[in-house]
Amino acid sequence: MTTRKKPNNLWVSRWGFILAATGSAVGLGNIWKFPYMTGEYGGGAFVLVYLVCILAIGIPIMMVEIGYGRRGRGSPIDAIRRVVKESGRSSGWSVLGWMAMLCGFMILSFYVVVAGWSVSYLWKAISGGLNADSVDGMAAIFGANNASPLNLGFWSTLVTVTTMLIVGKGVQDGIERNVRWMMPGMVIMLAIMIVYAMFSGGFGQALDFLFGFELGKLSSAGLLAAMGHAFFTLSLASGAILTYGSYLPDESSIARTTFTVAICDTLVALMAGLAIFPVIFANGMDPASGPGLIFMSLPLAFQQMPFGTLLEIIFFVMLTMAALTSAISMIEATVAWLNESKGISRTKAAWGTGIVLWIVSTLAMLSFNVGADWTLAGKTFFDWLDYLTSRWMMPLGGLGMALLAGFVLRNEVFKAELGLNNTHYALWLFMIRYVSPLGIVLIFIDALGIMTL
Ligand code: PFF
Ligand code: NA
């Protein structure tokens, strides 16, 4: 075998990768999307299907991505190119790296808007701006926050600038240094919220709702949503995990780290459910209130409870930290690529990328006010970014990376990189060749509307 490329960077501590990758995985997907999806798709049935998708699609593909990253030691484009070259295959496969990098950028362009909601709500909670006595009143506050492009743009810009500042500082001094305190911090805050929720009076009902499995509630829409969400929540096919994997020391076990990250991500999603739903139920509110769940129902519920404002502040600090540690991972692929391949300094790469990001995210932000009717096929620009990435680019990228690893590359490559015993390797290969691709194809069939299950 040829001598392997040296890593461009390495995590400082043994926990560096786990903290950074968990930071990437745990985000708005867990605390904002997962609870409202569970609410909409009927609770326990959705949770169960979601867990199966994490296990059958998410985990095998995450191993693939970390494998490409560490084997190729570079940003998605370069890493994949090196890995296919090692097997003597066409460098055209690096198109998968391009798509992943673009996907991460596109997700971040709308993610900063939602993260901006979180920061603006933190400010409202602190300054007493979250006062309303009905869901309609809270909806009016949400609407007013969105109505002014200057206001909304201010908050999303703040998120963009913070993200680029951290990423510009580098893998160790920027990313690792920040995830090292933000991740434990957010888990502690989440734990405080759960303890509070236990005494709210709605905890039993929330447990029933999250874990009470009713077969009748299992819908095909819920199944497909769960599958798509498995990609999003584990940050797959967006360049993030692959690039972080390129900084993983040779001696770390890819299988073990993958399981750790996936389990932490799942636990945080369930914990978020346990923090949010008791409060919702205790105040007799609807768990199926959609994307507005944590921005309308939750603050209203808190308002009616002791220490409500304090809990609101804790909640939005936690949400903001979760969003930031994900945001930095989405843009790391681009910054690493500009730095490694184009020789641009990280600081310059970060600011250059940040400017383009700011322009695209501003367009996404405008979808909530002046651009609300700039629609195409009924979707705003914000909706398109979300739809294209979740429904198409992530599943397609995941499919491509799985098939490449499963059928095209020489078997020794992943066998060596994953370091699995024969049984585990055979199981992994079966998942990556057949099970994950089949699941992904179902997402496409649904997205194309060819067939509704
Ligand atoms: N996993 C993140 C979440 O659940 O909020 C979202 C995400 C992060 C998607 C990084 C893609 C990515 F590259
Ligand atoms: Na997640």
Could you tell me if residue 206 is inside a domain? yes
CA distance 43 to 281: 13
Flag residues of the chain having pLDDT under 50: 1
The reply to whether ligand 1 has any atom less than 6 angstroms from the CB of 34 is no
Q: What is the CATH number of the domain that holds 119?
A: 1.20.1740.10
Could you tell me if residue 1 is inside a domain? no
Could you tell me if residue 424 is inside a domain? yes
Is 376 strand, coil or helix? strand
Please give the pLDDT value at position 50.
Answer: 94
Ligand nearest to the CA of 105: 1
Please give the pLDDT value at position 452.
Answer: 54
Which atom from ligand 1 is nearest to the alpha carbon of 326?
8
Enter the pTM of the model.
0.94
Q: How far is the CA of 328 from the centre of ligand 1 (A)?
A: 10
Enumerate the β-bridge partners of residue 376. Answer: 379
Please give the pLDDT value at position 65.
Answer: 98
Q: How far is the CA of 235 from the centre of ligand 1 (A)?
A: 4
Report whether 223 contacts 453 (CB < 8 A): yes
Could you tell me if residue 2 is inside a domain? no
The reply to whether ligand 1 has any atom less than 6 angstroms from the CB of 272 is no
Could you tell me if residue 276 is inside a domain? yes
The reply to whether ligand 1 has any atom less than 6 angstroms from the CB of 238 is yes
Q: How far is the CA of 25 from the centre of ligand 1 (A)?
A: 5
Ligand nearest to the CA of 241: 1
Read off the tokens for 120.
Answer: 């603006």
For a pocket test of ligand 1, which of 65, 233, 401 has the largest count of ligand atoms closer than 8 A to its C-beta? 233
Query: Which residue's CA is minimally distant from atom 11 of ligand 1?
Result: 235
pLDDT, one tens digit per residue, over 243-257 is 999 999 999 999 999
Question: String of b and e for 34-62 (b: at least 16 CB within 10 Å)?
Answer: bbbbbbbbbbbbbbbbbbebbbbbbbbbb
- Provide the domain limits for residue 243: 16-448
CA distance 87 to 90: 9
Please give the pLDDT value at position 190.
Answer: 95
Could you tell me if residue 435 is inside a domain? yes
Q: How far is CA 271 from CA 129, 265, 275, in A?
A: 27, 10, 6
Which atom from ligand 1 is nearest to the alpha carbon of 241?
13
| Domains held by the chain: number | 1
Could you tell me if residue 3 is inside a domain? no
The reply to whether ligand 1 has any atom less than 6 angstroms from the CB of 30 is yes
Which ipTM value was assigned to this complex? 0.99
Q: How far is the CA of 193 from the centre of ligand 2 (A)?
A: 19
The residue type at 324:
L
Could you tell me if residue 6 is inside a domain? no
